[in-house]
């Protein structure tokens, strides 16, 4: 027992020392000069990098260790208004950061060519260089990364052109090389066997315009990289491999399915002025005799008419069923029919579109789904959410909601989303929200983009609202600051109030059964770029049952008292 206590004390002491080291102020004048050079050349706002503040403790995206800068991330940042008029790839301040291990500018516009000094003057410890979707253009320096210790080079989603330098594949420690979705041309770069001393994980050059016989080059790449993706190019040759670690789809290979049309490949190679390897073109099918053709046409006509008749019968049955349901529902209202009709004439038109049958619709997870299974709705995967939110780090955390943590994320295409991360203790609270979204959508309800279940956690992604919520809009900000905002005028306030009323009218009168929000407050009213209302915080929504109204009101009131009134967000 004394040994255990001694061990725990030692661990606690080490943790305290590590925390103290991590929070140590910047101690390097060279690093300080480099950071202020970046602040000026990139035109970063005072909101992220405030002047006269310690960068290690007060600047967003700056990571320090023992008083030295080891990481800089400007992903998702915005330039000042003045700097946005003439953005450029100006990052000379990186030369001063001699202890830098990571530089991330994904999604931050850096229009221009990669500087030539990236070949020799990158900081020696630099291991991760992330410039995805940064509007970079031009060609790559021939010796990029030769002076550093790069392990991850991410350049996808730009406008880079020219040939891929073969020396780039000779960087021994390089484990991830992503050059996808650019304008690279020429032949696939070859790599000599044993060029790297580690089994790298990924080589991705999909979505470019590479051409030429690439069978041998792909074989050499497989010896260096565990996963090779050369899809969506114009590579040709005879490919007979069925290796799941290589993706050669949408090319000009023969002997494998999922390739481009032969005529498209010929047109591309003709424009490039190179020769396409002969690919056998399938022989035309024999033409049927006239008698047989007439017989086939008659059979096809009979089948089409029978199918059309069956569809017509199904349509009439469905229409009759809908009319009967509508009549039954209208009869149940009794004396309230006239009042509802008059109110419906005054109410603004809105659309209630069930989305459960749509392929991209959100629906609750079935009870039979295994606990460890991963279910993705829409096109967002768990890896995309992790990357978009910076690994669900504190820099992207907006607030702690009563059903989960709310994060701001930026997808690879530059689109902004809001992601709610729900733990095991709050999963049951999400079922009513998913049930609502699976049945209804409305212009006054914040759109749900996707629902994903990963092990014991669930994630909901929503459309990003540029003006945040009503709480943020109501508080007047100083107009002399960079992001100054006047208090809302009365016309806008009336517009917001009308939007909230329309959202509540939809929930109470147009849904069947009616829904009760149970969390209407300023933080629940989200605003788009035109101050149009999108009602959020739907995690406490519930359907009003057919029990007595007094019992329903009491149940809702008891549930509402348990909510944390100081908690904002969903």
pLDDT of amino acid 269: 94
pLDDT of amino acid 325: 66
Whether residue 182 contacts residue 161, with contact meaning beta carbons closer than 8 Å, is answered with yes
Cα separation of 309 and 305, whole Å? 6
Q: What is the CA radius of gyration of the chain?
A: 30
Does pTM surpass 0.85?
no
Instruction: Identify the H or E element spanning 177.
Output: strand 176-178
Cα separation of 364 and 380, whole Å? 16
Cα separation of 488 and 474, whole Å? 6
Where are the alpha helices (H) located in 261-408, listed in sequence order? 262-272, 290-333, 337-346, 382-388
Under 8 Å CB-to-CB from 530, ≥6 apart: which residues?
none
Beta bridge partners of 186: 210
Cα separation of 32 and 55, whole Å? 8
Q: Describe the chain by its helix, strand, coil percentages, rounded to 5.
A: 35, 20, 45
Whether residue 362 contacts residue 450, with contact meaning beta carbons closer than 8 Å, is answered with yes
Cα separation of 320 and 326, whole Å? 10
Measured between its terminal Cα atoms, the distance across the chain in Å is 45
Helix (H, G, I), strand (E, B) or coil at 407: strand
**Which superfamily does CATH assign the domain made up of 23-272 to?**
Ribonuclease Inhibitor (3.80.10.10)
Cα separation of 205 and 186, whole Å? 12
Domain spans, the chain: 23-272, 375-561
Under 8 Å CB-to-CB from 165, ≥6 apart: which residues?
140, 141, 142, 143, 144, 189
Question: pLDDT tens per residue, the chain (570 residues)?
Answer: 555 555 554 545 444 444 444 468 999 999 999 999 999 999 999 999 999 899 999 999 999 999 999 999 999 899 999 999 999 999 999 999 999 999 999 999 999 999 999 988 899 999 999 999 999 999 999 888 776 688 999 999 999 999 999 888 888 888 999 999 999 999 998 776 454 544 568 999 999 999 999 888 998 888 888 899 999 999 999 887 677 889 999 999 988 889 999 999 999 999 988 888 755 544 454 555 555 545 556 777 787 787 788 778 777 877 777 777 666 655 444 434 334 433 333 333 333 333 333 333 333 333 333 333 333 345 678 888 888 888 888 888 888 877 788 999 998 888 899 998 887 676 667 777 888 888 888 899 999 888 888 777 888 898 999 888 888 777 655 544 444 455 678 888 888 889 888 988 888 888 888 988 888 888 888 888 888 989 888 888 888 765 444 444 444 444 444 444 444 444
The CATH fold assigned to 375-561 is Transferase(Phosphotransferase); domain 1 (1.10.510)
pLDDT of amino acid 192: 62
């Amino acid at each position: 027992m004394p040994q255990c206590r001694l061990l725990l004390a030692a661990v606690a002491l080490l943790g305290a020392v590590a925390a103290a080291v991590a929070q140590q102020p910047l101690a390097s004048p060279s690093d300080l000069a480099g950071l202020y050079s970046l602040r000026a050349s990139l035109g970063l706002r005072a909101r992220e990098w405030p002047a006269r503040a310690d960068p290690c403790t007060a600047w967003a995206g700056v990571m320090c260790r023992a008083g030295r800068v080891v990481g800089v991330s400007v992903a998702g940042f915005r330039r000042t208004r003045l700097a946005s008029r003439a953005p450029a790839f100006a990052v000379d301040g990186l030369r001063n950061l001699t202890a830098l291990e990571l530089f991330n500018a994904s999604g931050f516009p850096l229009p221009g060519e990669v500087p030539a000094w990236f070949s020799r003057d990158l900081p020696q410890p630099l291991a991760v260089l992330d410039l995805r979707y940064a509007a970079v253009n031009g060609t790559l320096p021939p010796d990029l990364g030769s002076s550093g210790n790069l392990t991850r080079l991410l350049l996808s989603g730009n406008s880079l052109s020219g040939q891929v330098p073969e020396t780039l594949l000779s960087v021994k420690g390089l484990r991830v090389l992503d050059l996808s979705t650019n304008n690279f041309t020429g032949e696939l770069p070859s790599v000599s066997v044993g060029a790297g001393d580690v089994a790298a994980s990924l080589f991705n050059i999909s979505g470019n315009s590479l051409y030429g016989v690439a069978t041998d080059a792909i074989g050499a790449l497989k010896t260096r990289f565990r996963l090779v993706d050369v899809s969506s190019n114009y590579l040709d040759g005879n490919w007979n491999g069925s290796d799941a670690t290589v993706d050669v789809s949408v090319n000009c290979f023969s002997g494998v399915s999922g390739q481009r049309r032969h005529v498209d490949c010929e047109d591309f190679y003709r424009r490039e002025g190179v020769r396409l390897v002969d690919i056998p073109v399938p022989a035309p099918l024999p033409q049927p005799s006239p008698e047989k053709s007439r017989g086939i046409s008659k059979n096809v006509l009979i089948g089409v008419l029978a199918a059309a008749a069956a569809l017509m019968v199904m349509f009439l049955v469905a229409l009759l069923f809908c009319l009967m349901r509508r009549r039954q529902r209208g009869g149940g209202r009794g004396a309230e029919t006239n009042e509802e009709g008059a109110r419906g004439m005054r109410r603004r038109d809105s659309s209630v579109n069930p989305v459960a049958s749509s392929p991209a619709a959100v629906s609750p997870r079935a009870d039979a789904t295994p606990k460890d299974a991963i279910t993705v709705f829409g096109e967002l995967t768990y890896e995309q959410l992790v990357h978009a939110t910076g690994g669900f780090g504190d820099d992207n955390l907006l607030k702690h909601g009563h059903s989960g943590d709310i994060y701001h994320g930026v997808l690879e295409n530059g689109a902004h989303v809001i992601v709610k991360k729900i733990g095991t203790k709050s999963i049951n609270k999400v079922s009513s929200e998913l049930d609502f979204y699976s049945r209804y959508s409305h212009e006054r309800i914040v759109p749900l983009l996707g629902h994903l279940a990963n092990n014991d956690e669930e994630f909901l992604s929503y459309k990003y609202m540029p003006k945040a919520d009503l709480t943020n809009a109501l508080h007047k900000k100083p107009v002399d600051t960079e992001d100054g905002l006047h208090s809302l005028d009365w016309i806008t306030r009336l517009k917001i109030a009308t939007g909230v009323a329309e959202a509540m009218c939809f929930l109470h009168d147009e849904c069947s059964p009616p829904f009760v929000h149970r969390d209407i407050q300023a933080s629940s009213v989200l605003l788009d770029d035109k101050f149009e209302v999108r009602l959020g915080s739907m995690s406490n929504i519930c359907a009003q049952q057919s029990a007595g109204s007094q019992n329903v009101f009491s149940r809702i009131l008891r549930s509402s008292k348990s909510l944390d009134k100081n908690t904002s967000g969903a």
